Structure 1
Amino acid sequence: MYLLGYEVGSTAIKVAVIQAEQNKVVDVLQHPEHDLSIITKHSGWAEQHPDMWWQELCMATRKILSKNKINPRDIAGIGIAYQMHGLVLIDQDHKALRPSIIWNDSRAVAIGKKAFKDLGEQECLENYLNSPGNFTASKLRWVKDNEPDIYDRIYKIMLPGDYIAMKLTGKIQTTISGLSEAILWDFKQKKPAKKVLDYYGIDEDMIPEIVPTFDVHGTLTPEAAELAGLAAGIPVTYRAGDQPNNALSLNVLNPGEIAATSAESGVVYGIVDRPKYDQRSRVNSFAHVNYEDNFDRIGVLLCLNGAGNQYGWMKHQIAQSGRHYDDMERMAATVPIGSDDLCILPFGNGAERMLDEKSINSHIMNMEFNRHGRGHLYRAALEGVAFSFAYGMNLLKEMGLEVDILRVTNDNMFQSEVFSMTLATLLDCHIEVVDTTGAIGAARAAGVASGVYASLEEALSHVTPSTIFEPRLNQPRCIQAYHHWVSYLDQTLYEIPSKANRPEVLREKNKALKTSLEEKNKELASSAMQVHNKDEFILEIKQNLSEIANGNMSDDQKKQINKLIQKMEDHVDKNKDWENFEEKFNLLHSDFFKKLKEDHPKLSVAEAKLCMLLKMKLSTKEIANQLNLSVRGVETRRYRLRKKLQLPKEIELENYVDRV
């Protein structure tokens, strides 16, 4: 009896076969041999057609069955792992309406940021554990805004794994874990995120039926079985996003355990036992594969878009023809720690969440043509990814995750000793490399709901490390190289062009600031007048008390009243109050009173106050209220002020005061 597992990535389809009774890996196959094509019509866009995944999966399945002479009728269950955050849209005939907008497409960043603000940042973090960000829900809103004809034909929205499961079984379903990665699951309400749906104007009926991660999701249809070379009726019993599934493959299921991978993207994935979030949403939290309504298991995910893709680019573009990763590793090992000051920032694969959704692109820093060769480039590339991991790990530490042991698979950059030792030394941790892949994990997980294994623990009982990397490099030199790299990262983040500096944005900001300043001016004037009126009232009471004290009273009574009068005199200092007000007003209005007094030294305090109220652009009625005068009284004071300032008829009083 066998179990079949798929991992649907953006560069290839991986398929694994497990001999179920012995829990032994029979074979793992990747197809095609070259990377799958990605459609990039514009900068920051990334799309793949879902039917391409399906066609390659069918060919990979036929290939592995033929190679290992496996009878399809002996397969007891199928598990699916898939690239997270992709958006697949189907019509009522189950046909894809457009290419999938995949995980590293950054077109919806601005949409997600606006939603984060409009919905309320704390509301989003507490309920969905993330900003809507550049995730699936925001990508769907982009389609609604920009491709309304396609949006109107949508029957259901799906994640890539949901689409593959539908092609296998004909059933349209999703999981809680999948909805959480789309930012469409409310962890407080324990149901789909209605507020997000309502805000984006998305009909809840577009969400497929929700099924458990481990369950019989359906059986292979005759049509799917014929295309894939399988037997009709085989149950599909597991599906999960690639990172939760990768953690499962490494037996990372419980709080405090941490998994990592560095394939197309770089990911660190730690488990906690209650909903946690980063206030700036630089790392993301999703329902883990073993999350249930009454059993919180949350995966906190740190993602680096530019990781394996960067090193793959280095191989294809820099390495000599026919060179392999082993050749690059040998050359990198001859270069000292820090790559002789050559630094590479590996962020050339779209917006980076850990950098606040900035797209800073990749940079090669400090290259000297007479000093640096291919080996330096290879080591700097490996160190750049390792340093990026270390940089991001600090965010996980802030959330209470300690990194003592990092469990990783053996089918990615962790095969490199230079890379693994650099990271182990920087983090002062052990890195356990396990001979497994996401496809193997999906196959083992499929054995749980299909009844082959009694529990998930039994299915994963064979997961043990084959290699352990310890922190054996020179740590001071590693730390020095890391800080050198961070300095270049900080410099790049500081210098990156910002949309916020565009002229139209600045004009809107200035307009808003001007309006805000006018409102603050009115508040300041009101506050000043309240203080002035309070002082006037106290002085009036003082005068009344003085008159009473001069009447027929006993000496003791006069003494008590004089004490009250003295207290009032100590409290009220009209000149000091006005000087304090002038000082604050001058800060807001560039020494207004100072300039006014220099030009017109004979102005009284009352006339200066009127100038101040005119400077604030208060109406005659507002000024009357502030000075406790009638409108006619204000007009009389304005007339006298014009004469005092000796203004010609053609100059408006307000314009003159505004220019002071």
Structure 2
Amino acid sequence: MKYLLGYEIGSTTIKVALIHSEDNLVVDVVQYPEHDSTILSKHSGWAEQHPESWWQDLCTATRSLLAINNLNPREIAGIGIAYQMHGLVLVDENKKVLRPSIIWSDSRAVTIGKKAFKDLGEKECLENFLNSPGNFTASKLRWVKDNEPEIYDRIDKIMLPGDYIAMKFTGEVQTTISGLSEAILWDFKRKKIAHQVMDYYEISEDLIPEIVPTFSLQGTVTAEAAEMSGLVTGIPVTYRAGDQPNNALSLNVLNPGEIAATSAESGVVYGIVDRPKYDVRSRVNSFAHINYEDNYDRIGVLLCLNGAGTQYGWMKSQIALSGRHYEDMERMASTVPIGSDELCVLPFGNGAERMLDEKSINSHIMNLEFSRHSRGHLYRAALEGVAFSFVYGMNLLKEMGLEVDILRVTSDNMFQSEIFSMTIATLLDCHIEVVDTTGVIGAARAAGVANGVYTSLEEALSHVKPSIIYEPRLNHSRCSQAYNLWLSHLDKALFDMPSYANRPEVLRSKNEALKATITEKNKELTAVSMQLYNKDEFLLEIKDSLKGLSADLSVEDQKKVLQRLIAKIESKTDSDKDWESFEGQFDLLHSDFFKKLKSDFPKLSVSEAKLCMLLKMKLSTKEIANQLNLSVRGVETRRYRLRKKLQINKELDLEEFLDRV
């Protein structure tokens, strides 16, 4: 067997690479479809694709590759799979897909992830998962549970896109630690599945597939898969990884201090560290690298820009004249000075940007003058806009302690542009090494490690050498001036321009709801005030009645007067109703404290609930004794009994426990 196959499952196309294993050279790379694949977007911020279409396109690309190269599939020794990260694929017990995949650029779960980050505890999430649950796979699954319960109830297993493709090849439903980490379902501190996230989202561990090593025999091609793809049965699938860890592998970026980058549909910078690192604002993300399993000490810190290559592709399809290629756009852009004569483009038009605190500010073209700017200005401003985004993001990595001296990139994306690459190199004062390889070629080479075609990963990647090196040769002051202008427009978009939440129609709706709430609360306040006034009037009436008790009255007549007063007091007293009213007001101030308390501890008595309330208010034991008309010893006894009823650990203070309710 002389050949290895690599696949890359992207959101725009499927690529397949053929490697001759004996000399480690690339035979061919094919992609299908040639145009961008369809992304379904029923609502703003949504992005879905049918997993079945990935498989069909993969089979078409494979048959094309075999035919073009007149290749006998029996000579193929292994298959490696790279895939778009963070997607969610759901299958039932018959391995049938239940709904379109919610892919990486979909931002519907942002709110769910933010709430989980707060509820689980930001420090807990960052120290254990190195990330907020954010808009990642686990949060997308919770969205399905909340919004499509009839589909959720039929789920047998959840998968990432690469897991699905491997299943279509082999019939085996599996995943990897690296995959679980990108779903925010891996606990780096405990080195196991993140049960805290699963419990919080109420996700059963039964939905997680079998975990297999990244480099391993993960199954063999079935007869059904062979018939559809043109391959033969028995070819082993020996590698799978997300596209960004895999891209780093293809560039031989495996060890601490090494940094890879790409700018295809999205832009990514991916640096390797040997210990858990995280950003306290979660603007960058850390995941298990492809060699993490060796010693649990190789972690990739990932910076992602959703709107990079997608924006420049939009420029080509919507602005460039028909028949123009990227080379033509580069030539036109090169006639325009650095800074594009103050024309600025923000490239963030592809959903929420993690780097910008999950804000969706969309893409903007600023300072466009019809008498001054040409298509060439638009092209250069677009290239600079993406380059400036990279610089902005890599400065975040520098804050985390990663050095950016050498950036290693593949040759099949925006880094082919000298304008783009030189702008980044100049502003960061670094060298950019362009390696004549791609992610799909890396996947093919990686496929040869687990099945013994190569003795090591180092041997598999021995041909990875730079073909072009970009140095910081542009005018630094002009680049800095252009970058600072771009930064000022970014700040304006972040802080001044209306987001979706601040659109007029949304604000009107919010205002109407707030008005209704205020009106209702005013009614309640008026009612409470009236009750207090009536209570005062009543007390004065009682006082006058008591003053009117004459010593001349017989004991029997005095008893009658007192009995009438007692009856009157009882008619005005409804302690249960008053307590319920107080509970409601207290809950408003303390985030539904009593509701949570009753839900978690339904057997608490009213007196015990009152004690909890007074402790929540941080009253001293003496103050509580005065409120409850008890002795200090009586309060301490009740505290002791309350601890036992709440089953609180000895190490935890009662007040601290109640603060968490």
* Correspondence 1:549-588 to 2 at 5 A: none
Give, in whole Å, the separation in 2 of the partners of 1:476 and 1:240.
41
Equivalence for 1:597: none
CA distance in 2, matches of 1:163, 1:262: 25
Tell me the CA shift for residue 497 of structure 1: 2.9
Q: 1:452 to 1:508 in 2, by over 3 A?
A: farther
| Cα distance in 1 for residues equivalent to 2:354 and 2:289 | 20
Q: Distance in 1 between matches of 2:518 and 2:476?
A: 50
Deviation at 1:294, TM superposition (A): 2.9
What are the Cα deviations for residues 563-601 of structure 1, in whole angstroms up to 9, with x where unaligned? xxxxxxxxxxxxxxxxxxxxxxxxxxxxxxxxxxxxxxx
1:246 partnered with 2:247: yes
In the TM superposition, 1:457-496 aligns within 5 A as 457-496=458-497
Residues 190 and 293, structure 1, Cα contact 8 Å, conserved in 2: no
Matched ranges for 1:69-468 at <5 A:
69-292=70-293, 294-468=295-469
Q: Aligned with 2:216: secondary structure?
A: strand
Distance 1:419 1:328 in 2: 12
Given the two structures, how large is their TM-score scaled by the length of structure 1?
0.77
Per the TM alignment, residue 510 of structure 1 is displaced from its structure 2 partner at its CA by 9.3
Q: Note closer, same or farther for the CA distance 1:366–1:207 as it changes in structure 2 (3 Å cut).
A: same
**SS at structure 2 position matched to 1:195:** helix
CA contact (8 A) 1:283 1:354 kept: yes
Residue 505 of structure 1 deviates from its aligned partner by 8.5
1:509 CA displacement: 11
1:503 Cα deviation from its structure 2 partner: 3.2
Alignment of 1:617-656 (within 5 A): none
Equivalent residue number for residue 615 of structure 1: none
For 1:464, give the aligned amino acid.
K
Paired residue type of 2:232: A
Provide the rounded CA distance (Å) in 2 between the counterparts of 1:359 and 1:126. 27
**Quick one: distance in 1 between partners of 2:517 and 2:305?**
33
Which has the higher mean CA deviation after the structures are superposed, 67-76 or 491-500? 491-500
Identify if the C-alpha distance between structure 1 residues 398 and 507 changes in structure 2 by more than 3 Å, giving closer, same or farther: farther
Residue by residue over 1:89-124, the C-alpha shift from the partner in whole angstroms, topping out at 9 and shown as x without a partner, is 000110100000000000000000000000000000
Q: Distance in 2 between matches of 1:205 and 1:507?
A: 46
Amino acid aligned to 1:45: W
Q: Distance in 1 between matches of 2:477 and 2:514?
A: 45
Distance 1:507 1:272, change over 3 A: farther
* 2:511 alignment partner in structure 1: 503
1:429–1:322 distance in 2 versus 1, CA, 3 Å: same
What are the superposed Cα offsets for residues 536-568 of structure 1, whole Å, 9 maximum, x if unpaired?
A: xxxxxxxxxxxxxxxxxxxxxxxxxxxxxxxxx
The 5 A counterparts of 1:516-555 are none
Taking the aligned partners of 1:491 and 1:214, their CA distance within structure 2 comes to: 47
- CA displacement at 1:325 relative to structure 2: 0.4
Over residues 596-631 of structure 1, what are the superposed CA-to-partner deviations in whole Å (9 max), with x where a residue is unaligned? xxxxxxxxxxxxxxxxxxxxxxxxxx9xx89xxxxx
Structure 2 CA distance for aligned equivalents of residues 503 and 136 of structure 1 = 34
Secondary structure of 1:406 counterpart? strand
Instruction: Give SS of 1:217's match.
Output: coil
CA distance 1:510–1:79, shift in 2 (3 Å): farther
What is the letter of the counterpart of residue 123 of structure 2?
Q
CA shift in 2, pair 1:490/1:510, >3 Å: farther
Evaluate the alpha carbon distance shift between residue 87 and residue 504 of structure 1 in structure 2; reply closer, same or farther with a 3 A threshold: farther
**Aligned structure 1 segments of 4 or more residues deviating by more than 2 angstroms:** 496-511
CA contact (8 A) 1:135 1:181 kept: yes
Q: Report the Cα distance in structure 1 between the residues aligned to 2:250 and 2:217, rounded to whole angstroms.
A: 20
Mapped to 1, the partners of 2:378 and 2:126 lie a distance apart of 40
Q: Which moved more, 1:292-301 or 1:263-272?
A: 292-301
Q: Secondary structure at the match of 2:113?
A: helix
- The root-mean-square deviation of aligned C-alpha atoms, in Å, is 2.1
Cα displacement string for residues 310-357 of structure 1 (whole angstroms, at most 9, x for unaligned residues): 000000000000100000000000000000000000000000000000
Shift of 1:508: 11
What is the CA–CA distance in structure 1 between the aligned matches of 2:512 and 2:397, rounded to whole Å? Answer: 38
- One-letter amino acid matched to 1:250: L
Alignment of 1:586-625 (within 5 A): none
Amino acid at match of 2:280: Q
The residue that corresponds to 1:617 in the other structure is: none
- Partner Cα distance (1:53, 1:129) in 2: 30
What amino acid sits opposite 2:192 in the alignment?
A: K
Q: Is the 8 A contact 1:5 1:446 kept in 2?
A: yes
CA displacement at 1:403 relative to structure 2: 0.4
Q: How far has the Cα of 1:30 moved from its partner?
A: 1.3
Residue 164 of structure 2 aligns with an amino acid whose one-letter code is: Y
Structure 2 residue identity aligned to 1:461: S
TM-score for both structures, normalised by structure 2: 0.77
Q: Aligned in 2, Cα 1:3/1:510: closer, same or farther, shift over 3 Å?
A: farther
Amino acid at match of 1:247: A
When residues 510 and 477 of structure 1 are mapped into structure 2, their CA distance, relative to the original with a 3 A threshold, is farther
1:17 paired residue number: 18
Query: Do the aligned partners of 1:424 and 1:431 also contact (CA within 8 Å) in 2?
Result: yes
5+ residue gaps, structure 1, are 515-621, 627-660
State the distance in 2 between where 1:437 and 1:220 align: 24
Match of 2:163, SS state, is helix
CA distance in 2, matches of 1:100, 1:18: 30
Tell me the distance in 1 between the aligned counterparts of 2:287 and 2:513.
35
Give the secondary-structure state (helix, strand or coil) at the position aligned to 2:365.
strand
Distance in 2 of aligned mates of 1:508 and 1:405: 58
Q: What is the CA-CA distance between 1:262 and the residue it aligns to?
A: 0.2
Query: Which amino acid in 1 is paired with 2:371?
Result: N
For residue 29 of structure 1, report the CA deviation from its aligned partner: 1.1
| Map of 1:557 onto structure 2 | none
Is residue 426–residue 478 contact of structure 1 (8 Å, CA) maintained in 2?
yes
Deviations 1:48-81 (A, max 9, x none): 0000000000000010111011110000000000
Relative to 1, partners in 2 of residues 1:472 and 1:488: Cα closer, same or farther, differing over 3 Å?
Answer: same
How far apart are residue 292 of structure 1 and its match? Answer: 1.5
Residue of structure 2 in register with 1:658 after alignment: none
Going from structure 1 to structure 2, the CA distance change for 1:178 and 1:32 (only over 3 Å counts) comes to same
Shift of 1:506: 6.8
Instruction: Tell me if structure 2 keeps the 8 A contact 1:87–1:139.
Output: yes
> 1:249, 1:442 within 8 Å by CA — same for their partners in 2?
yes
* Percent identical: 80
Task: State the distance in 1 between where 2:228 and 2:119 align.
Answer: 47
Cα displacement string for residues 178-216 of structure 1 (whole angstroms, at most 9, x for unaligned residues): 000000000111111101001001000000000000000
SS in 2 for 1:362: strand
SS in 2 for 1:340: helix
- Name the aligned partner's letter for residue 330 of structure 1: R
SS of the equivalent of 2:164 reads helix
Aligned to 1:223, the other structure's residue is in SS state helix
Q: Which protein is bigger by CA-based radius of gyration?
A: 1
| Alignment check: 8 A CA contact 1:81 1:242 kept | yes
**Distance in 1 (alpha carbons) for counterparts of 2:437 and 2:462:** 13
Gaps of 5+ in 2: 523-622, 628-661
Output the CA distance in 1 between the equivalents of 2:513 and 2:284. 29
Q: How many residues align?
A: 519
Structure-2 change in CA distance of 1:122 and 1:318 (3 Å): same
**SS of the residue 1:219 aligns to:** coil
The AA in structure 2 aligned to 1:151 is: Y
Q: Within 2, Cα distance between the matches of 1:352 and 1:476?
A: 28
| Shift in CA distance, 507/209, structure 1 to aligned 2, threshold 3 Å | farther
